[in-house]
Homo-oligomer: A and B are copies of this chain.
């Protein structure tokens, strides 16, 4: 059996209350006593029960994280930021995979709150109005990352300016002499991000006086195979609707697109240029290295944690609640050719 606070107390010749204080408010306890208690803890290799602590203090030093899919490539990066920041605050992270299901996401809030998490980070899926009832009952802070809210409950979110990011992509492509630019956009039923990036693409074209054509746009669900197939469709009509560059809504789709291009004898970037989006670690490992937009995953994760920790100690004022846009960055590598 593990030693409890009472065991330590007995060994140190003090009361449990004193041991508790030694742990939480060492400044309130006599240095000598403190020393005795610490020695006792050491000797018994005492580890306070986070469970009991959580029950009693009504907090658990634990953060809940709801992700749509653990295998989504960006997850690791986001998680890294979250984990690092959590540690700084002495927090643990409890992970919940909603498996892209809305019902499971709902359940996630409920279950995590059963663990007394002091806050919940919700990721990458649009929060719609049907989340409101759940959000209302929840008496713990929630923060969004890589997505935003369309619900009534005010929610703060950390993400990039999606529209602007894709606008920048177009601008970059144009600066490299491309005018016939296709897009493999993202589309998921509960995903706003895809639309925003598409909007950025359209704005970019408009800004540079390039006509938008539906025939140059295909959609995919962000994964490799989606990118492959979307490119396949684009290629099917390349004669009628030619393009020299393709921008995509994810690195993974970019890889799929490149693979498809290769399979059809096109070289990247010599024949056709491809742009990714995300700047995942693999982006620099493939040939050609992917030119892409870097999302500040780590920072976003860290900011989310910071926000939650802060919100737990003092409820944020309404003016502090809202969307925070973190800077993205265009990373130039090898998958785009200059036509100039």
Contact = CB atoms under 8 A, between A and B. Distances in A.
Chain B CB within 10 Å, residue with most, of A137, A285, A286 = A285
A1 interface: yes
A51 B75 CA distance: 27
Contacts of A47: 110-111, 113-114
Given A55-B52, A287-B258, A76 B75 contact: yes
Interface in A1-59: 1-2, 45, 47-52, 54-55
Nearest to A137: B45
A167 interface: no
A255 interface: yes
A131 B299 CA distance: 35
Contacts of A52: 55
Size bracket of the A interface: 35 or more
Interface majority SS (helix, strand, loop, mixed), chain A: helix
Interface in A39-96: 45, 47-52, 54-55, 60, 70-71, 73, 75-77, 79-80, 83, 92-96
Nearest to A1: B139
A256 to B, nearest CB: 7
A211 to B, nearest CB: 33
A71 B60 contact: no
Nearest to A52: B55
Contact of A60 (B48, B51, B93): B51
A97 B262 CA distance: 38
Nearest to A115: B50
B286 A255 contact: yes
A286 B262 CA distance: 10
A281 interface: yes
Nearest to A258: B287
Contacts of A71: 76-77, 80, 281
Given A51-B114, A255-B286, 4 more contacts: A49-B114, A51-B55, A51-B116, A95-B95
14 contacts: A1-B139, A2-B139, A45-B137, A49-B114, A52-B55, A55-B55, A76-B76, A83-B95, A92-B96, A93-B95, A224-B281, A224-B285, A258-B287, A259-B287
Interface of A: 1-2, 45, 47-52, 54-55, 60, 70-71, 73, 75-77, 79-80, 83, 92-97, 110-111, 113-116, 137, 139, 224, 252, 255-256, 258-259, 262, 281-282, 284-287
